[in-house]
Chains A and B, each alone.
Chain A
């Protein structure tokens, strides 16, 4: 970006922040023109990467780590860990664990080995691979490895594996658009912070004291230029 463009975006920036206070704010009505949501979609895979980082992403995406069978087992497990329900959307696929396994190699052996452990356990009990067992049989095994502070002898490794996969599936879901919506995270957007809502303060038996109210920023003054006379 050359200097002139920088100055131009600066001007836009300052207009934008005055807009925040006067206009209504919503996700679709982005008050910062040069960083609107549309621009993000314009550049495929663009999320502010350096050329080296971009090359690394492309390389990782071109590789496959899990076999088809491993992927379908992970998908099945993901649906058990974070099932879909009517109002929470779904990302029941194995995309996140697959990418993370390629991105962070320390996950590779524990995940692959854990899937083997699961198939072996299922074979031992039901003479079938985990994914070919009935739902009831699958949950019978899962119930033995899903509770970290109550592990039966012989199930410690299985529990460690399941905890790792549960971590990755949980993170994958709650960092997806549907997961963030289900969670109810309302930030990551221009805002005017003016403290905890009154009903929430009341519920928690909290209040802002006079001193705090007097010294904190008043939303209507935030676009004024600070005047140091008589400070």
Chain B
């Protein structure tokens, strides 16, 4: 194959790398402002309304593996192309540490499958160092970002309720759906245990926000991405409107290798490999905006080496890749005997929890950890998929049969089949999602020895939890048991103890990784300024999770969106003033 770098003659105003939450938001805001944009995406085109890509409203029998997670880690019907492992695109780990890196390459990225949990950071979340002396404060506060949260609520749509709950700011909420039966049970348990539980805040349209997107029809399948755009995906809600301006050229299957620079150290565009033919191309632009995901953007910068930037671009602080942090997670399941032999009705509801528990112990000083967590709940008569009915022997020996007699766990035959019928809908689960402390020695860097199939040097991770996170997981497990007992349930399996870090998931498993290009006022201790603009290269911006200084116990998407909009407004103004 002849090898030459194919250069496009066109010079765009702005080149955006990545079409997920951050890239989609930047593309929409900047395209609507009239700028000519090249939007690059490493994966294929995707639109939730495309029937050939649709998994929504399919039955489990349509998959020969009944939806098992052999090619997609969350199962055949989940709408994320990619996963923790991608063929031909490895990453490595060092010092015996663990980090699992989830990537989804497709238009819209991970927003196509996420839980739509759309929480605002509260005032405390931007200033945690003031509170516990750990990590760093953000250079901005809640009041700086609040107007953008407000605009996003109205543009995208999120249901919830005004609660005036400490550090859990209210927004512009659509009405929430009514709780399901298991949620009413859990609510009784949390009330008894003195733990709050309020309607969840999910970006799902219980009511319409415009004429283009349909209202939710309650199929519970947001993880499959909604064909009528009843939930938020960057593909349908941001990228499509951006494309409709005719100011955006979308490049799919474009794996970006590096950011190009001129002799003055300004960004001039990017080079990318087209996956279909392995050819290398260049796209020129006056401004480059990275939104490839926290770790991918860090990788891009570290791989953009030149004589002026021997450590990689925008890395004079040598902090690119550092302060990587994911949410903590730990979970438990339970069996609720009074939920056996349930009346059958369609209780799918929206995709995900109708109620959740926000962090309620901000005032407590003696927990053994200083950052909080929220609790997510699940249960109910959901659609069966691979794994349904597994380990029924652990349930059917626990309570008497219909004849009032106890039986041995397990069995076979009609009695066993009826047991599955009886126990359907009687198990629930809960999971904590907590804030970890960002640390400089948790990081990703370029592995000096390994390249991927495109010839691009890969990331190497170094990540360890500390006692802060382990103690938090222990507290989660104690709380779960308290709730389960208070609601008349039996916790399933053994309580995870110190030997398993209290069920604390490996770093990367919660898929909230952020912090690799953190924000700050001082170029020596941060990579971007408060407008997501790199200190070193004024025409280079980063609008994914990389700029997070800390991530609260809140899922990062709503804040990525708010920061990306805010950065785009700033960029717009600077370009108009010809400062960039």
A residues within 8 Å of B by Cβ?
1, 3, 6-7, 9-10, 13-14, 16-17, 20, 32, 34-35, 39-40, 43, 46-48, 50, 52-53, 56-57, 60-61, 80-83, 85, 88, 96, 99-100, 103-104, 142, 146-150, 163, 166-167, 170-177, 179-180, 182-197, 199-201, 203-204, 206, 208, 212, 215-218, 221-226, 228, 231
Point out the residues of chain B lying under 8 angstroms from A225, CB to CB: 207-211
Judged by a CB distance under 8 angstroms, whether B345 is at the interface is: yes
Name the 3 nearest CB pairs between A and B, nearest first: A13-B228, A170-B389, A195-B178
B67 lies within 8 A of A175 (CB)? yes
Cβ-neighbour of A191 out of B209, B348, B412, B420 (below 8 A): B348
Q: Evaluate contact between B408 and A147: CB separation under 8 angstroms.
A: yes
The reply to whether A179 and B384 contact each other, CB–CB distance below 8 Å, is: yes
Chain A residues lying within 8 Å of B384, measured Cβ to Cβ, are: 171, 174-175, 179-180, 183, 185
Q: Mark each residue of chain B from 183 to 196: 1 if its CB lies under 8 Å from any CB of chain A, else 0.
A: 01100100000000
B63 in contact with A47 (CB, 8 Å): yes
Q: With A10-B212, A194-B178 in contact, is A170–B229 under 8 Å at CB? A: no
- Per-residue 0/1 for B208-241: is the Cβ within 8 Å of any A Cβ (1 yes, 0 no)? 1111111111111100000111100000000010
B46-54, B126-134, B459-467, B569-577: which lies at the interface = B46-54
B323 at the A/B interface (Cβ < 8 Å)? no
- Closest Cβ of chain B to A88, distance in Å, is 7
Residues on A with beta carbons closer than 8 Å to the beta carbon of B6? none
CB within 8 A of A81: which of B81, B349, B416? B416
Q: Which chain B positions have C-beta within 8 A of A17?
A: 214-215, 217, 228, 230
Contacts of B497 in A (CB 8 A): none
User: Inside 8 A of A9's CB, which chain B residues have their CB?
Assistant: 49, 227
B228:A16 contact, CB within 8 angstroms: yes
Closest to A34 in B: B51
Cβ of B174 under 8 Å from chain A: yes
Residues from chain B with a CB closer than 8 A to the CB of A217 are 159, 174-178, 206-207
Q: Which of B505-548 contact A (CB under 8 A)?
A: none
B342 / chain A contacts, CB cutoff of 8 Å: 200
Specify which chain B residues have a CB less than 8 angstroms from the CB of A224 in the assembled complex: 207-208
Contact A85 B414, beta carbon cutoff 8 Å: yes
Contact with A along B329-373 (1 / 0, CB 8 A): 000000000100011111111100000000000000000000000
Which among B16-24, B31-39, B68-76, B280-288 touches the partner chain? B68-76
- Residues of B whose CB lies within 8 Å of any CB of A are 44, 47, 49-68, 70-71, 76-77, 81, 154, 157, 159, 161, 172, 174-181, 184-185, 188, 199, 206-221, 227-230, 240, 243-244, 338, 342-350, 381-394, 397, 408-414, 416-417, 420-421, 424
Residues in B whose Cβ lies below 8 Å from that of A40? 58, 62
Q: How far is the CB of B172 from chain A (nearest CB, A)?
A: 6
- Whether B390 pairs with A167 at a CB distance below 8 angstroms is yes
Contact A100 B65 (CB under 8 A): yes
* Contact of B421 with A184 in the complex, beta carbons under 8 Å: yes
A192 CA to B184 CA in the complex, in Å? 19
Judging by beta carbons under 8 Å apart, are A183 and B385 in contact? no
Q: Chain B contacts of A199 at CB under 8 A?
A: 343
Would B64 and A82 count as touching, CB distance under 8 A? no
Please report the C-alpha to C-alpha distance between residue A218 and residue B154 in the assembled complex, in whole angstroms.
19
Q: Which residues of A contact B57 (CB under 8 A)?
A: 32, 35, 188-190
Asked if B243 and A3 sit within 8 Å, CB to CB, the answer is yes
Which one of A57, A184, A193 has the greatest number of beta carbons of chain B within 10 Å? A193
Do residues A34 and B227 form an inter-chain contact, with CB atoms below 8 A? Answer: yes
21 contacts between A and B (CB under 8 A): A13-B227, A48-B53, A81-B413, A83-B414, A166-B410, A167-B391, A170-B388, A174-B388, A175-B66, A175-B385, A177-B59, A179-B384, A180-B60, A180-B384, A187-B381, A190-B57, A191-B219, A208-B178, A212-B179, A216-B199, A226-B209
A170 to B424, CA, bound (A): 13
Q: Are A16 and B243 in contact (CB under 8 A)?
A: no
A175 CA / B65 CA spacing, docked (Å): 10
Contact A185 B383 (CB under 8 A): yes
**B68 touching A100 by the CB < 8 A rule?**
yes
Determine the chain A residues whose CB is within 8 A of the CB of B70 once the complex forms: 103-104
| Assembled-state Cα–Cα distance A85/B213 (Å) | 45
Q: A17-B228, A47-B58, A48-B53 are in contact. Are A191 and B64 (CB under 8 A)?
A: no
**Which residues from chain A contact B174 at a C-beta distance below 8 Å?**
217, 226
| Among B172, B179, B208: residue with most chain A CB under 10 A | B208
A80 to chain B, nearest CB (A): 6
Which residues of B sit under 8 angstroms from A150, Cβ to Cβ? Answer: 408-409
Point out the residue from B49, B230, B410 that lies within 8 Å of A146, measured CB to CB: B410
New A-B pairs, 6, CB < 8 Å, besides A6-B50, A9-B227, A175-B66: A1-B50, A32-B227, A46-B52, A85-B414, A167-B391, A195-B179
Closest to B230 in A: A17
Minimum C-beta distance from A60 to chain B (A): 8
Q: Is the CB of A193 within 8 A of B421?
A: no
Asked whether, in the complex, the Cβ of B207 is within 8 Å of the Cβ of A88, the reply is no
- Chain B residues whose CB sits within 8 angstroms of the CB of A148 once the complex forms: 393-394, 409-410
CA distance A183 to B384 in the complex (A): 9
Q: A61-B64, A171-B66 are in contact. Are A146 and B346 (CB under 8 A)?
A: no
Are B386 and A196 in contact, CB atoms less than 8 angstroms apart?
Answer: no
Residues of the A chain whose Cβ atoms lie less than 8 Å from the Cβ of B409:
147-150
Closest to A100 in B: B65
A1 and B47: CB pair below 8 A? yes
Residues of B within 8 A of A52 (CB): 71
B65 touches A149 (CB 8 A): no
Q: Are B349 and A193 in contact (CB under 8 A)?
A: yes
Which residues on the B side are within 8 Å of A88 (C-beta)? 417
Known: A47-B63, A170-B388, A189-B346. A3 touches B228 (CB 8 A): no
Contact of A191 with B52 at beta-carbon distance under 8 Å, contacts A50-B81, A183-B420 already known: no
Q: When chains A and B are docked, how far (Å) is the Cα of A88 from the Cα of B81?
A: 36
Contact B60 A175 (CB under 8 A): yes
Contacts of B159 in A (CB 8 A): 217
Contact A149 B408 (CB under 8 A): yes
CA distance A178 to B174 in the complex (A): 38
Are B217 and A188 neighbours in the complex by a CB distance under 8 Å?
no
- Do B228 and A14 touch (CB < 8 A)? yes
CB distance from A137 to the nearest CB of B (A): 15
Chain A residues within an 8 Å CB radius of B214: 13-14, 16-17
**Cα–Cα, bound, A116→B71 (Å):** 30
Residue of B nearest to A37 (CB): B57
- B335: shortest Cβ distance to chain A, in Å? 15
B175 to A204, Cβ gap below 8 A?
Answer: no
Indicate if the CB atoms of A222 and B81 lie closer than 8 Å.
no
For residue B349, which residues in chain A have a CB less than 8 angstroms away from its CB?
A: 193
Residues in B whose Cβ lies below 8 Å from that of A192: 217-218
What is the bound-complex CA distance between A48 and B54, given in angstroms?
Answer: 5
In the bound assembly, the distance between CA atoms of A168 and B35 in angstroms comes to: 55
Q: Which residues of A contact B180 (CB under 8 A)?
A: 196
Q: What CA separation (Å) do A228 and B207 show in the bound complex?
A: 12
Central interface residue in A10, A20, A197, A218, by most chain B CB within 10 Å: A10
* Chain B, Cβ-Cβ closest to A188: B383
> Which residues does chain B contribute within 8 Å of A172, judged by CB atoms?
66
- A126 CA / B44 CA spacing, docked (Å): 59
The answer for the CA separation of A34 and B344 in the assembled complex, in Å, is 29
Are A216 and B176 interface neighbours, CB within 8 A?
yes
